[in-house]
Amino acid sequence: MEIPIAEELAKKQKSISVAEFFEKNRHILGFDSAPRSLITTVKEAVDNALDACEEAGILPDLMIQIERTGPDYLTIIVEDNGPGVVKEQIPKVFAKLLYGSRFHALKQSRGQQGIGISAAVLYAQMTSGRYTKILSRTGPDHPAHYYELMINTGSNEPDILKDEIADWFRPHGTQIELEMKASYVKGRRQSVYEYLKATAIVNPHARITLIEPDGTEEIFERATDKMPDPAEEILPHPEGIELGTLLKMLHYTERQRLAPFLRYSFSKIGLYTADELCKAAGLDPETDPHALSRHEARKLIEAFHKVKIMSPPTDCLSPIGEELILRGLEKEVSVDFIATTTRKPAVYSGSPFIVEVGLAYGGKLARDDKISIMRFANRVPLLYQQGACVTTHAVENIKWKQYDLNQPGGGLPTGPGLLLIHVASTNVPFTSESKDAIADIPIIRDEVELAVKEVARKLKHYLSKQKNLKKRKEKEVIINKVLPKMAAKVAGILDREVPDINPVVAKIMGNVLVNRTLKLQEDGSAEVTVKVKNFGTSAQTFKVHDMHPYRILEAKPEPKVVSLGNDYDYIWELTAAVGSSKVLSYRLEAVSAEEIAKFPELIVEGLEEEMVTGAKAIKGVF
């Protein structure tokens, strides 16, 4: 009897190890080119280090060293000061795919699937044939454990080549060393340097040191010592829960009644809301949830949309915050204007998410190119597939001409701008396992668009103000060219001294006038008077700085005094109503006319240069 072909085919069928799958499909995880393989490896190691430090409440101090070991080969060393990994877990954490602690936890984290760092170990052994070195220590009273590991791709289990105690200077932390086929590039947006720079912007609490193959050391200093608020694990929110997911939850629950199942399986469902949901679905609260049919489960899904349920808690998320986005951008980019915003939480498929945006403009940014977009998900930079990301689509959907930016042919606007877009979620819907782009989910796109429009409105206000200030400056330049000549001519005709034209200029321009006069006394002292008058159309609050090397006496009002080495900075904080005048006075002992002539110009802090006459103006912190 002839053997059926199906039986012959069946003999060839066997299960595939996940390690074997990714061994043949490494491009899925971001190991598809030599430069990108390096960035992916650094990214996965840095993500793990930052997550570990934050979970342990430790300010991250990371070191990334890249050494050239051959024409096409690099050794990557990533070291952190985190809590370390316990000895028994080290082989599985680094040499077993799909092994981790965050996949089932509903809270914000950088890594979730347990693939990233072990995939880097797999790529390293495939391309270099070398093992990966791991050094980890959990505390000063515990030994440091050293491992040499490879992955058995047939079983997706770690092969331990060496396991021993080692000496290590760090009291706690982890170090991983891999050799792989990769290339290091500089001067490109998609490079290790740019990735770490972007990471430093959205993780301003971290200190990151990069040692490049040529020995150059780049340090991204932390901008704050404040740790981000830790993300707490929560239950799924009923909004967005799909039928299949609900059926699985009903099947595996330990609850014997429907109402308690709803209360203890979902967030923001209390006793009253659970009863309301049961009524809306036409179900008995005492029903055994295991007995619900697919039709009844569908009615429960419909009830989720009918009954008003509070928004999910946000303690499962750890947004950067407007202030720290501002400080991160100020630290790494030189610009004239920064606006930031953080949206209220929204929900996608039962998972809460928050969108944050920072917009930087001017400074050293390229003026004729399209604006740059820095995309982030859970504080991790997304360097590839920008065109496939929902954040890019949201930016392109906006009519930028409404915000005074050119948008030739649609798409991204042009100008010296940089958009930072961060999506924080318990479950970021990436388009692929390589986590390069966020899927085009309508509610996420809407939230990104609203956030970008909010900072764009602030930019429009700034640009409008700059245009007005430019016009004022041009007008003042003309006035300052004409009036001195007129004053000199009239003074010559009347045979008088040329008058101070600053009060006239301030009145014409509607500026704040700041005028200092010094009068020598017979006893060798000097009386100093600073007159301030607001000729503008609105009240102004600012600081006046008077800097010189002399101690002042009998000041009215009393200034704040800051020592500047051999000089003193005398600071008065003033609020001048429209048309009002302020007088500051003090006395100096034993000062000559020559010394008075060397006094530096007064400085006004907090006003635009175009709004002040008679003093130097500095906008911002002096």
**Residues 287-342 pLDDT 10s:** 998 989 999 999 999 998 888 888 777 777 888 889 888 988 888 888 888 999 99
Who wins on pLDDT, 171 or 32?
171
Same domain for 375 and 252: no
Cis bond upstream, residue 236 (ω within 30): no
Name residues whose C-beta falls within 8 Å of residue 75's C-beta, 6 or more positions apart in sequence.
66, 67, 69, 177, 178, 179
Q: Please give the average per-residue pLDDT across 165-192, as a whole number.
A: 87
Q: State the CATH number of the domain containing residue 355.
A: 3.30.230.10
Q: What is the pTM of this model?
A: 0.69
In a domain, 331, yes or no: no
pLDDT at 136: 92
pLDDT band (50, 70, 90) for residue 10? low
Mean pLDDT of 448-466: 90
Q: Same structural domain for residues 448 and 523?
A: no
- DSSP of 155-211: TTEEEEEEEEEE--S-SSEEEEEEEEE-----SSSSSHHHHHHHHHHH-TT-EEEEE
What tokens does 187 get? Answer: 């001067």
List alpha helices for 413-544, DSSP H. Answer: 442-494, 502-509
List, in order, residues 6 or more apart from 442 with CB less than 8 Å away: none
Domain-located, residue 4: no
Q: Which CATH number do you get for residue 44?
A: 3.30.565.10
Alpha carbons 352 and 357: distance in angstroms, whole number: 17
Band of the pLDDT at 13, cuts 50, 70, 90?
low
* Percent of the chain topping pLDDT 90: 28
- Asked if the model's pLDDT at residue 543 lies above 80, the reply is yes
Domain C-terminal end among 464, 480, 515: 464
Do 231 and 203 meet the contact criterion of CB atoms below 8 Å apart?
A: no
Residue 329 lies in a domain: no
CB 172 within 8 A of CB 137: yes
pLDDT tops 60 at residue 466: yes
Q: Find out whether the peptide bond into 143 is cis, omega within 30 degrees of 0.
A: no
276 is a domain residue = yes
Look-up: residue for tokens 């390293």? 124
Rounded to 5 degrees, φ, ψ at 585 are: -140, 150
Single out the residue of 136, 169, 138, 154 nearest to residue 45, CA to CA: 136
Domain coverage including residue 589: 502-618
pLDDT digits (tens, 9 = 90+) for 416-448: 989 999 998 888 888 877 788 899 999 999 999
Q: How far is CA 165 from CA 79, 96, 130, 147, 471, in A?
A: 18, 22, 21, 9, 72
Give residue for tokens 């007995």.
291
Regarding whether 560 and 525 lie in a shared domain, the answer is yes
User: What's the whole-number mean pLDDT along residues 525-541?
Assistant: 90
- Res. 400: pLDDT tops 70: yes
| Average confidence (pLDDT) over 408-415 | 85
Q: pLDDT per residue over 79-89, tens digit each?
A: 999 898 888 88
Q: How far apart are CA 81 and CA 62, in angstroms?
A: 7
Q: What does the pLDDT read at residue 88? A: 86
| Under 8 Å between Cβ of 121 and 157 | no
Which residues have CB under 8 Å from 205's CB, separation 6+?
Answer: 59, 60, 222, 223, 224, 225, 226, 227, 228
Q: How many domains does the chain have?
A: 4
Res 617: pLDDT: 86
Whether residue 460 sits in one domain with residue 508: no
Q: At what angle do helices 390-397 and 442-494 cross, to 10 degrees?
A: 50
| Closest by Cα among 205, 236, 239, 232 to 108 | 232
234 band by pLDDT with thresholds 50, 70 and 90: confident
Q: How confident is the model at residue 21 (pLDDT cuts 50, 70, 90)?
A: low
Residue 109 reports pLDDT greater than 50? yes
How confident is residue 103, by pLDDT bands cut at 50, 70 and 90? very low
Which pLDDT band, with edges at 50, 70 and 90, does 25 fall under?
low
Assigned token pair, 172: 């706690």
The answer on 357 and 277 residing in a single domain is no
Domain end point (choices 168, 188, 220): 220
| Nearest-5° Cα angle at 369, 365 to 375 | 70
Residues 249 and 206 in one domain: no
Q: What is the pLDDT of residue 232?
A: 73
Residue 14 in this model has a pLDDT that exceeds 70: no
Spatial CB neighbours of 235, under 8 Å, sequence gap ≥ 6: 106, 264, 265, 266, 267
CATH number of the domain enclosing 261: 1.10.8.50
Asked whether the beta carbons of 579 and 536 are under 8 A apart, the reply is no
For residues 32-42, average pLDDT: 84
Look at residue 231 and tell me if it is in a domain. no
Element containing residue 301 per DSSP (H, E): helix 294-306
Q: Which of 220, 255, 284 is the C-terminal boundary of a domain?
A: 220
Q: Is residue 13 included in any domain, yes or no?
A: no
Beta-carbon contacts of residue 378 (< 8 Å; ≥ 6 apart): 108, 109, 110, 423, 424, 425, 428
- Please check whether residue 330 lies inside any domain of the structure: no
- At residue 122, the 3 state secondary structure works out as helix
The first and second tokens of residue 100, run together, are 């981790």
For residue range 128-159, list pLDDT tens digits in order. 888 889 999 999 999 999 998 888 877 778 88
Residue 108 confidence (pLDDT) above 60: no
pLDDT in tens, 550-607: 888 889 999 999 988 888 899 999 999 999 999 999 998 878 778 877 888 899 998 8
**Co-location of 367 and 506 in the same domain:** no
- If DSSP codes are grouped into helix, strand and coil, which group holds residue 620? coil
CA 49 to chain CA centroid, nearest Å: 17
**Tens of pLDDT, residues 235-287:** 888 876 788 888 898 888 889 999 999 998 888 888 899 999 999 989 999 99
pLDDT at residue 47 in the model: 86
Same domain, 287 and 397: no
- Please state, in angstroms and rounded to a whole number, the distance separating the CA atoms of residues 181 and 74: 6
| Residue with more model confidence, 100 or 205 | 205
The pLDDT value given to residue 396: 92
Q: What is the CATH number of the domain that holds 584?
A: 2.60.40.2960
pLDDT at 581: 92
* Average confidence (pLDDT) over 362-386: 87
What does the pLDDT average to over 614-622?
Answer: 73
Q: What is the DSSP string of 24-65?
A: H-GGGGT-SSHHHHHHHHHHHHHHHHHHHHHHTT---EEEEE
Burial class (CB in 10 A: 0-12, 13-18, 19+), 336: middle
- Rg of the chain, C-alpha, whole Å: 33
Q: Which two tokens stand for residue 104?
A: 């089932």
* pLDDT over 70 (residue 101): no
Q: Is the pLDDT of residue 104 over 50?
A: no
Domain co-membership, 416 together with 385: yes
Say how far apart CA 131 and CA 40 lie, in whole Å.
18
Residue 27 has pLDDT above 80, yes or no: no
CA dihedral of residues 37, 52, 172, 182 (deg, nearest 10): 0
**Same domain as 175, residue 118:** yes
- Give me the amino acid identity at 391: T
Residue 113's pLDDT band, with cuts at 50, 70 and 90, is very low
- CA contacts within 13 A on the Cβ side of 131: 15
pLDDT of 105 reads: 46
Q: Which residues contact 227 (CB under 8 A, 6 or more apart)?
A: 54, 57, 59, 205
Q: Where are the alpha helices (DSSP H) in 338-404?
A: 390-397
Parallel/antiparallel/unpaired status of strands 540-548 and 61-70 = unpaired
Region 47-65 average pLDDT: 89
Mean pLDDT of the chain: 84
Q: How far is CA 139 from CA 51, 53, 80, 206, in A?
A: 18, 13, 13, 21
Same domain for 182 and 58?
Answer: yes
For the record, the structure tokens of 323 come out as: 């202030």
Which pLDDT does position 24 carry in this prediction?
A: 59
Q: Which of 54-63, 135-144, 214-223, 502-511 has the lowest mean pLDDT?
A: 502-511
* Count of residues in the chain: 622
pLDDT of 77 higher than 80:
yes
Residue 361 and residue 288 share a domain: no
Strands 207-211 and 61-70, by their bridges, are parallel
pLDDT: which is higher, 307 or 620: 307
Distant-in-sequence contacts of 282-291, Cβ < 8 A, 24+ apart: 283/258, 284/258, 285/257, 285/258, 285/259, 286/257, 286/258, 286/259, 287/257, 287/258, 288/256, 288/257, 288/258, 289/250, 289/253, 289/255, 289/256, 289/257, 289/258, 289/261, 290/250, 290/251, 290/253
Q: For residue 433, is it within any domain?
A: yes
